[in-house]
Every structure is written in C-alpha cells, then in structure tokens.
Structure 1
C-alpha cells in the first residue's frame, strides 16, 4: 500500500510544462512627416474667396440661321463692408469672365454687335423716408400734504417713423463694348458694386447680354448667373 501511495504522490508532484506567453505585437510605425521642401500639388487648388457657380449659357438660334451663345465663368461675388459704413448699404467685390460667340451659316451678313456685362442686386425692402415728430406733454399734480398749490411736470419727446417700400432690383452695368466679328469677351476683376437704402435681405447675380447685328436686324440673348442670397 505504501508503494501505491508513493507512486500516486509522484504522479501528483510531477511539474507540467506550460506554454510560453505569446509576445506582444509591436506598435504600428508613426505616420511619415511631410517634407516641407517637397513641391505642393496644385492640380486641385482651393477656389477663390467668394466663388460662385456659373449658370447655364444663354443660347439663341436666329430666324436667319445664326447661333448665338453667351456664358460666364470664374465668377466671384464677395460681400464686403461698405465704404460709407451705412447699415442700409450693400457692397460686393466682383470678378468673372463673360464670353459671347456667334456661329453658324446664316443667310444674312453680320455687321458686328455689342456686349454688356454686370451685376443685378435685389433688395427685399427699401427704406424710403425717415420722419421725426417732436412732442410736448404736461402732467398736473397735487402737493402732498395738501396745501392748495397745484404742481405739474413738462416733458418733451421725439417719435420717429421709417417708411418702407417693396424691394427693387438695381442693374449695375460694369462694362459695355461694341465689337466686330463673331466673338467677344469681358473679364472683370476686383470691381466693387454697391446699392443703398436696403433694409432687408439682399440678392445678387451676374448677367451678360449679347447683341448680334446685321444690316436690318438685331438679335439679343442674355446670360443670367446663379442668384446668391447675402
């Protein structure tokens, strides 16, 4: 029996080899530091401040076979503080390129035409007139304790009224030129436009009007940019 107990004890006390702990994974490498001397990719530059999308081109097919097209591109409309510092003024810094083309094989002879480009500014409410009405008042009273003497106080007041009218649209022609041939262009950069007496929200959009002339006819088509609320 003692031999069986010794064998059992030997079996219990035999150490069991354990598997080694798995080594921790190394941390990921840090992101590469950009090289300040490396060239900058300018294939997708940021749009200029105040950039707005251009509207669809204005297209006209004339009865005598000419095709007129006027379009805008690279437009910016940046609201800026008015130089007058008046809160009823709206002022913008404008840029854009406007192009007019005449193509086709018309039955008449072209003699040239004219091209105009500018901005249209709309104001929801116009402040028309301001009226100031002075007033005077007298307030009687009785002295306390009662002595039989009447008292009173005089006052002076001012009442102001602002008369408002429905909004209007102001058309600001920035350039107008006559041309010969079949193509014309106007490029505007850094031009300030302003409207006054605007008491409500304002809106702005570009426009360009192409006039194609022959000896006896005029054909007119207008491009309108995207309306921007400011």
Structure 2
C-alpha cells in the first residue's frame, strides 16, 4: 500500500515549511571590514591628518632687541586652498587663505606703550614666469624674387628667340614663447599700525591670485612685526609652511 510513503512525504513538507522562515529571519552576515586607507587612518602614535586646506604652522619665532625688548610672532589656524580661477587660464593661480597672526612684546617698563606695525601677506613662487615676457608670439617672413630667362641663344643667331620672365616667392613662419626663470610674487594683505604690546591680524576667506605662472607653484604666509621708537626699529619676520600646488 502507498499510505506510509504518502504520510512521510507530507511530514517532510511540513518540516520544511517550519524551518524555512526561521532560517530567513536570521540577520545577514556582515562583510569583513576592510583595512583603512593609509591616507585616512593615522599610524599608531602619529597625529591625525589636518582637515582639507589646513596648514600646520611652524613654531613661534622670537628675538631680543639691543634695548632689552623681546619680540615674538606666531600663527595659528592657517588655511591655504587652491581654487579654480575665474579666468580659467592655465597660467593663473588663485588661492583662498586664512589664519590668525599674533605679535607679543615684553621689555623694560616705559612711560608709553610700545608701537609699531604688523604686516601680514603671502608669497607665491612660480617655476616659470610669463608675466614679464613677450608671451606667445607669431613671427613670419615673406618675399618676392623676380628673374628673367633667355631662350634660343646659339652661335648662328646671336639674338635670343624669347625672353621668359619669372617671379619666385618665399614664405616662412614661427611661433615663439617667451619664458623667464621663476619669480616670487609678494601679496600684502594687511599693514596694521598699532600701539600696545599684543597686536594681531586675522585673515579669513581671503582670495589672492597671480597671472603668468607656468608649471608648479608654491605658496606660504609671512608676517613682519616691527617695534618702532623715535631712534630705532626692531624687526622680526615669520614665514609659514610652504605648500606646493
């Protein structure tokens, strides 16, 4: 009889229907985590990378003047972001920069507070300069050379049978590109005259550009602190990290 095999088949189907939903309800297995990219993850014991556009500022600079005053100059939160120039020219460089530049002066007690000037700006270096040359120029030469030919001259007839005039022309051209060794462009952003011991200048979202720059370019910030008296000037300069673009 076929009753027993039929019962077994029905039991197998019921068991499959009960087990299948349980299996489908299990969480999916997450893929193995990939190793972090070296450009994002910092090595053990090393500081994390600065955000895009941030520049690590060098340590503060300090000097002491002959009259006993100590001048210090420092920068923080510097940014230098290359951006697309409005001219879309390949020889134009444009940057968005920022930072806070602080001067400090300490010295002997005086009746009047110290005074002077704090200058802040940027230096942009070009590998090849086209701004002071002739740039791209097209040169050419053209000329006409006339000629006369004599036909049919022999011993029997001393006179020529015919005279054949001719004209020859020449045309030449060339393209010249005037290039000069690289130069450093100085862009002054602020010249702050002050009276006091702690002058500072903050720059944020300031855009600077240069033209006629071919090849790689380099940019760095600078600050110059000057303490002035009626008979002297003490000058201290700070230069930021150089960034290659």
Contact 2:220 2:239 in 1 (8 A): yes
What is the CA–CA distance in structure 2 between the aligned matches of 1:211 and 1:111, rounded to whole Å? 10
Instruction: Specify the SS of the correspondent of 1:201.
Output: strand
Tell me, which stretches of 5 or more residues in structure 1 are unaligned?
A: 1-29, 32-43, 139-153
Contact 1:54 1:73 in 2 (8 A): yes
| CA displacement at 1:84 relative to structure 2 | 1.2
Which of 73, 76, 95 aligns to 1:73? It is: 76
Q: What does the per-residue CA deviation read over 1:169-200, in whole Å, with 9 as the maximum and x for residues that have no partner?
A: 11101111111110111110111111111112
RMSD, aligned α-carbons:
2.8
The residue that corresponds to 1:16 in the other structure is: none
Which of 163, 170, 173 aligns to 2:188? It is: 173
Residues 176/132 of structure 1: CA separation in 2 closer, same or farther (3 Å cut): same
Which of 180, 191, 195 aligns to 2:206? It is: 191
| CA displacement at 1:47 relative to structure 2 | 4.1
Contact 2:76 2:101 in 1 (8 A): yes
Which of 71, 84, 88 aligns to 2:91? It is: 88
Q: What does the per-residue CA deviation read over 1:96-131, in whole Å, with 9 as the maximum and x for residues that have no partner?
A: 110011013267955411101010001111122122
The residue that corresponds to 1:148 in the other structure is: none
The residue that corresponds to 1:163 in the other structure is: 178
Instruction: Specify the SS of the correspondent of 1:59.
Output: strand
The residue that corresponds to 1:114 in the other structure is: 117
Listed as ranges, the matches of 1:145-164 within 5 Å are 158-164=173-179
Q: Give the aligned length.
A: 177
Residues 96/77 of structure 1: CA separation in 2 closer, same or farther (3 Å cut): same
Tell me, which stretches of 5 or more residues in structure 2 are unaligned?
A: 1-28, 31-46, 145-168
Contact 1:64 1:108 in 2 (8 A): no
The residue that corresponds to 2:223 in the other structure is: 208
The residue that corresponds to 1:134 in the other structure is: 140
Contact 1:52 1:75 in 2 (8 A): yes
What is the CA–CA distance in structure 2 between the aligned matches of 1:208 and 1:182, rounded to whole Å? 16
Contact 2:114 2:197 in 1 (8 A): no
Listed as ranges, the matches of 1:210-225 within 5 Å are 210-225=225-240
Instruction: Specify the SS of the correspondent of 1:200.
Output: strand
Q: What does the per-residue CA deviation read over 1:136-157, in whole Å, with 9 as the maximum and x for residues that have no partner?
A: 699xxxxxxxxxxxxxxx8966
Contact 1:110 1:215 in 2 (8 A): no
